[in-house]
Structure 1
Amino acid sequence: MRTLLYLSIVCLLSACSTIEYIGIETYNPAEVTFPKSVGKVLIVNNAVPQPDNAGYTYNLYGTVQDTARARADSALFDACRSLGKSIVDVSFFNDVLLYHDGTRRDGKHLVDEKLTPEAVKELCEETGTDAIISFDRLLFRMEKDVVAFAEGFVAGGVDVHISGVVRSYLPGRDNPLATVYMEDSVFWSESADNMELLKLYLPSPDEALRAAGQYIGAKVTPNFVPHWENETRWFFKGEGARWKEATAYALSDKWEEAAFRWRHIYTNSSSWKERAKAASNLALYYEMNTQLAEAFEWATKSYNLFNSKKGQDYKYTKMQQLYLEALGGRIRSDQKLNKQFGQ
């Protein structure tokens, strides 16, 4: 089972609120599951860089500049290197290598071309790797706008839209193991007293593309390795000594002590609403301890109480339904994680 790391407690409502929200990190599986035999992975650039005069529009004081140019070849390399570095940082595979050359020799930058089974086999044999992750197409559309104001200062923005296709390959297979389609963007906005200062603040066209390549390489990483994600949970507060003690312990990250009091409330309270809230809190306690089956059981008890007394449209019934869905997803993710770690 994977652990949950408690991050912080954030009060989103007023001091008299009956709910306290908390932020947690959950450990999630990669979207793509490689065979257990894959220990070394090769990152490959199989994309063709777009021409310098393609995909870049520069609008200066309302006039489009027809001399705008931006080189994308370094951005492709940066995307591959960023992906490789991000995978290495996770320490999931035994080793991650970056292939030194691009694999395409044609100029069809708009074409998404897969690696052939023969090419996959040759690359793996050449590098001693077990699998390949390849950028098969990566395109950039960049827009730069600079405007002048009556006060004398200037403002500018650079917006880079990124789209591409990344695939994973295994030798001996006729088709890729998985295909990932990606689309995202990065943006810069600055103002300055004059044009010369603005040039210092905004990235050059080549720098902007390289930064976009680095960004998309890191962004696509969770598709291929397990990763942490931020999520939000909550626990109920209430009146009375035991409720206040439990809240104080939870706010101090003393979950055992808090759970002891919530369990007492659930067992002894004559109020169905207090029992429903205590059951929900106990579900959170078990989730924090990665006992997901127990968490799901207690969340179900809470949902059933809210639903039987107030119906499906009641706000707390809806909240518990969302929590049950989140826990169900965690249970499925945990099973996939165990598979990816060979357990």
Structure 2
Amino acid sequence: MKKEIYLGGLSFLLTACGGINYVGIETCNPGEVTFPQDVRKVLMVNNAMAQPEKSGYTYSLLGVVQDTAQAKADSALFDLCAACGTSMLDASYFEDVLLFHDPLRDSGSSLMDRKLTRDQVASLCRSNGADAIISLDKMLFAMEREDVNVGAGFLSGTITVKMQGIMRAYLPGRDNALATVLIEDSVEFQQAAENLRMLNYYLPTANEALRIAASALGGKVSGYFVPHWSEETRWYYNNANSRWKEAAAFASSSKWEQAEAIWKRVFEVTSSKSQQAKLASNIALCYEMQSQLKSAHEWAQKSYELFLASEGEKNRNTELLKAYAEVLKERILADKKLNTQIGSR
């Protein structure tokens, strides 16, 4: 069994048969933007200009580019704002998240990034009872659909939607935005069918593809503005030793304090640096699972140094523990920011 773990920008492929057990962990992460404590109600607005219908969409049918390709982005812009607002509301961070249903711009280029003015912010907050505004100020889509013959009379269709935009947070009484967030993502749809008519039935239309992609992006970018939970994968090392197995049994039942105590006792009597490195990594996980991040980081760093000494810099375990120590260091900093954001809310 193989499993890929992503930590600190690095990807590792580990094999479970080597004595590694995996465990899921949910971490609470702060939003990128920190709002003042008195911001209770937020208004989501669409200040982006929809791109022209024939801009940014390419459709290739059996290698021939079609000149009829077009897609409307108006609804997709609204869907992005709605999905972002709904996700923020679900986070229960603000008292309320309101959605301004009408677009603020009706002219100009979709390529133009136009910020809200101080007067616009004040007027929108006053008329909607909001303390702050989150605005989609620019949004561009690049969509490609390619239908190819895959043999036996079947067609395969792929739609790829790439998205880039700018969102900002505004507070009344300020000349400049509180924060500017660059957003970017892509969504792919793929389907096969026995003919073009059925393929068109299975795949979303161009307009639907834009709306689905925009909603997905909106749900993701909400995490820039509110604390949010994410699921990650951790691991602990095991072997045939009875004490290791006993600790692993406690770990599998989420009894991290008991597992930690056993792994520490084994660590103290083990002479092998390689085994000590694995035990130190396990102990770091126990501390992390008990939200003792400083101790977790200290043991992860110790594990990394032991792996470095026993197995070398290029060893898979050495690289993994280096990344894990960095992740824990980032979690310590993130927790400080999270405490600031949550405060007295």
Instruction: Give the Å deviation of 1:294.
Output: 2.0
Cross-structure match for 1:63: 64
Instruction: Give the Å deviation of 1:96.
Output: 0.1
The residue correspondences of 1:9-158 to structure 2 (distance < 5 A) are: 12-15=14-17, 17-148=18-149, 151-158=152-159
Aligned residues: percent identity? Answer: 51
In the alignment of these two chains, the number of paired residues is: 332
Assess if the C-alpha contact under 8 Å between 1:44 and 1:98 holds in 2: yes
Q: Deviations over 1:78-132 (max 9, x none)?
A: 1111111111111111100001211113131111111111111111111111111
Cα distance in 2, alignment partners of residues 273 and 63 from structure 1:
59
Instruction: Give the Å deviation of 1:273.
Output: 4.3
Report the residue type matching 1:13 in the other structure: T
1:123 to 1:266, Cα distance in 2 relative to 1, 3 A: same
Cα distance in 1, alignment partners of residues 148 and 316 from structure 2:
49
Higher mean Cα deviation, 306-315 or 194-203? 306-315
Unaligned runs of 5+ in 1: 1-10
Instruction: Give the Å deviation of 1:330.
Output: 0.8
Cross-structure match for 1:4: none
Assess if the C-alpha contact under 8 Å between 1:279 and 1:301 holds in 2: yes
Cross-structure match for 2:241: 240
Assess if the C-alpha contact under 8 Å between 1:155 and 1:191 holds in 2: yes
Cα distance in 2, alignment partners of residues 261 and 214 from structure 1:
48
Higher mean Cα deviation, 22-31 or 80-89? 22-31
Higher mean Cα deviation, 138-147 or 26-35? 138-147
Q: CA RMSD in A?
A: 2.3
Cα distance in 2, alignment partners of residues 240 and 153 from structure 1:
55
Higher mean Cα deviation, 218-227 or 150-159? 150-159
Say whether residues 1:263 and 2:264 are aligned partners: yes
Report the residue type matching 1:145 in the other structure: E
Instruction: Give the Å deviation of 1:159.
Output: 1.8
Report the residue type matching 1:252 in the other structure: S
Q: Deviations over 1:199-235 (max 9, x none)?
A: 2111111111111221121121111111122333222
1:49 to 1:303, Cα distance in 2 relative to 1, 3 A: closer
1:303 to 1:127, Cα distance in 2 relative to 1, 3 A: same
Report the residue type matching 2:85 in the other structure: G
1:321 to 1:44, Cα distance in 2 relative to 1, 3 A: same
TM-score by length of 1: 0.89
Report the residue type matching 1:86 in the other structure: S
Assess if the C-alpha contact under 8 Å between 1:265 and 1:274 holds in 2: no
Unaligned runs of 5+ in 2: 1-12
Assess if the C-alpha contact under 8 Å between 1:19 and 1:235 holds in 2: yes
- SS of 2:67 mapped into structure 1: coil
1:296 to 1:188, Cα distance in 2 relative to 1, 3 A: closer
Assess if the C-alpha contact under 8 Å between 1:50 and 1:109 holds in 2: yes
Say whether residues 1:177 and 2:210 are aligned partners: no
Instruction: Give the Å deviation of 1:280.
Output: 2.5
Instruction: Give the Å deviation of 1:189.
Output: 1.8
Instruction: Give the Å deviation of 1:52.
Output: 1.7
Assess if the C-alpha contact under 8 Å between 2:41 and 2:96 holds in 1: yes
Cα distance in 2, alignment partners of residues 70 and 309 from structure 1:
59
Report the residue type matching 1:124 in the other structure: C
Cα distance in 1, alignment partners of residues 278 and 70 from structure 2:
61
Cα distance in 2, alignment partners of residues 133 and 76 from structure 1:
14
Report the residue type matching 2:78 in the other structure: F
Say whether residues 1:279 and 2:280 are aligned partners: yes
- SS of 1:101 mapped into structure 2: coil
Cα distance in 1, alignment partners of residues 153 and 313 from structure 2:
60
Instruction: Give the Å deviation of 1:45.
Output: 0.2
Say whether residues 1:201 and 2:210 are aligned partners: no
1:168 to 1:131, Cα distance in 2 relative to 1, 3 A: same
- SS of 1:319 mapped into structure 2: helix
Report the residue type matching 1:181 in the other structure: L
- SS of 1:332 mapped into structure 2: helix
Cα distance in 1, alignment partners of residues 32 and 221 from structure 2:
10
Report the residue type matching 1:30 in the other structure: G
